[in-house]
């Protein structure tokens, strides 16, 4: 069951939201050092070959939070915190910070509770500050509140800035503002955030942003990580896996 569901989730997240980059901010703006603890992660197989890249956030000087579909199957990782990552940064074979990826045991076990979280434990400390984690149930009251469309979050990530009419994939850290669409539906059901993801609405996520943070507006408190989408053009809908649940926090805190 896990194998079949994982395959379906990967097809959804990777094929539609992209594997190699897994998601990036569209219609956003340069982060310009606002979140220096958000980095670009390159993942490698056992032979040291780069396989895909995602986004992650330091939650301690040595622990980076990201998505489970990013860490799953990866043997090692390297993280870059430059505003724009280039070959001069050493990308993708040198430079940055080397670490080991770990995937939540519940990843891919069911839907909508995909368990889509993972961490990268770095070998060296990073002194760039770090984000905090929302408490258990932080978003629960929002799920039944009226006027959800007035609630916004800040998403941050590296990756594609545009798919149509041309692909634009500078590896630059960007941020955007998204609005809540739903927290209680067949695709969310208390585990995911469904948010806006279209030009003209403040921006959204796309290939390369997977694993990137979803911050409560005006804070550096993580409430979710970018997980999947339903449109190959990165418009219409974006989904993030909530980190304010007991199971998610138990896994994350086991590394802190």
Taking only the tens place, the pLDDT of each residue in 138-194 is 999 876 655 555 689 999 998 664 544 444 567 899 998 888 888 888 889 899 999
pLDDT of 206 reads 73
**Omega before 141 within 30 of 0, i.e. cis:** no
The pLDDT-based confidence of 4 (bands split at 50, 70, 90) is: very low
Q: Which of 142 and 256 is assigned the larger pLDDT?
A: 256
What would the pLDDT profile of 7-50 be if each residue is shown by its tens digit? 334 333 333 333 333 334 556 788 999 999 999 999 999 999 99
Structure tokens at 125: 């400390």
- Average pLDDT of 241-251? 97
CATH topology of domain 2-22+35-130+246-253: Thrombin, subunit H (2.40.10)
Strand intervals (E) in the chain: 29-30, 38-44, 50-58, 63-66, 76-80, 97-103, 118-122, 132-133, 152-157, 174-182, 192-195, 213-216, 221-229, 238-242
**DSSP, res 148:** G
pLDDT of 68 reads 97
Domain ranges of the chain: 2-22+35-130+246-253, 140-242
Average pLDDT across the chain, whole number: 83
| Domains 2-22+35-130+246-253 and 140-242 are alike in CATH topology | yes
- Average pLDDT of 81-103? 96
Half-sphere exposure of 121 (CA within 13 A, CB side): 9
Report the DSSP pairing between strands 213-216 and 63-66. Answer: unpaired
Of the candidate CATH numbers 3.40.50.620, 2.40.10.10, 2.20.28.10, 1.25.40.10, the domain formed by 140-242 belongs to 2.40.10.10
Q: Is 233 exposed, middle or buried (CB count within 10 Å of its CB: 0-12, 13-18, 19+)?
A: middle
pLDDT of 149 reads 55
What would the pLDDT profile of 206-223 be if each residue is shown by its tens digit? 767 899 999 998 999 999
pLDDT of 118 reads 98
pLDDT of 27 reads 61
């Amino acid at each position: 069951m896990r194998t079949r569901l994982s395959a379906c989730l990967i097809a959804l997240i990777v094929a539609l939201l992209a594997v190699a980059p897994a998601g990036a901010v569209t219609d956003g703006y340069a982060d310009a050092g606002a979140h220096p603890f958000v980095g670009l992660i390159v993942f490698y197989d056992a032979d040291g070959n780069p396989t895909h890249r995602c986004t992650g956030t330091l939650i301690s000087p040595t622990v980076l939070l990201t998505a489970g579909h990013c860490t799953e199957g990866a043997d090692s990782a390297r993280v870059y915190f430059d505003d724009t990552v280039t070959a001069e940064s050493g990308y993708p074979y040198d430079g940055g910070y080397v670490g080991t990826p770990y995937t939540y045991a519940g990843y891919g076990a069911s839907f909508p509770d995909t368990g889509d979280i993972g961490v990268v434990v770095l070998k060296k400390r990073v002194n760039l500050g770090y984000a905090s984690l929302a408490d258990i149930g932080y978003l629960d009251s929002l799920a039944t509140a009226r006027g959800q469309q007035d609630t916004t979050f800040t998403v941050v990530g590296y990756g594609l800035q545009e798919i149509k009419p041309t692909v634009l994939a500078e590896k630059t850290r960007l941020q955007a503002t998204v609005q809540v669409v739903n927290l209680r539906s067949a695709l969310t059901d208390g585990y995911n955030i469904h948010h806006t993801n279209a030009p003209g609405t403040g921006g959204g996520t796309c290939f390369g942003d997977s694993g990137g943070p979803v911050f409560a507006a005006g804070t550096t408190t993580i409430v979710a990580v970018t997980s999947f989408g339903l449109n190959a053009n990165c418009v219409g809908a974006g989904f993030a896996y909530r980190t304010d649940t007991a199971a998610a926090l138990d896994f994350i805190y086991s590394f802190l």
